[in-house]
Amino acid sequence: MGEKVKLGVGLLLLAGCGVWLSFYYGTKPKPGEPVAHLQPLACAACGAAYAGEAGALPTKCQKCGKNEAYRALKCRNCNTLFPLVRAEGSFADKAGVKCTKCGKSSFTTEISSDELQKP
Ligand SMILES: [Zn+2]
Ligand SMILES: [Zn+2]
């Protein structure tokens, strides 16, 4: 009897997860919908970090005009924002990325908007 109850609870949890997932994916913008998407960018040429609209990276730096603005990362050690310079569009390239200031390879992509200069 006890086992049956456990199984029932497990199935209920699974069903709950399914509902949550479909809700989560349902709130995402549909493909083809225009979305103003700002993301943290950092320039490999001048070192500026700011929130900018970016499609394919690297993109044109808003500060110096060079085509060297990449996705910005924040160093967990010294909080420096530095560009994720990568040749291919794959996140596997994150391996070996190091902070340009302290050289540590511990970083986060979570950068709050007040850490970025306004465009
Ligand atoms: Zn720049
Ligand atoms: Zn650092």
Q: Which residues surround ligand 1, an ion (CB under 5 A)?
A: 43, 45-46, 48, 61, 63-64
Q: What is the mean pLDDT of the chain?
A: 77
Q: pLDDT tier at 115 (50, 70, 90 boundaries)?
A: confident
How far is Cα 1 from Cα 14, in angstroms, rounded to an integer?
A: 20
What is the phi/psi pair of residue 70, to 5°?
-115, 175
Distance of CA 8 from the midpoint of ligand 2 (Å): 50
* pTM of model > 0.85: no
Distance of CA 84 from the midpoint of ligand 2 (Å): 13
How far is Cα 115 from Cα 50, in angstroms, rounded to an integer?
A: 8
How far, in Å, are 15, 26, 62, 78 from residue 100 at the CA level? Answer: 46, 39, 20, 10
Residue 99 CB neighbours (<10 A)? 20
Give the 3-state secondary structure of residue 4.
helix
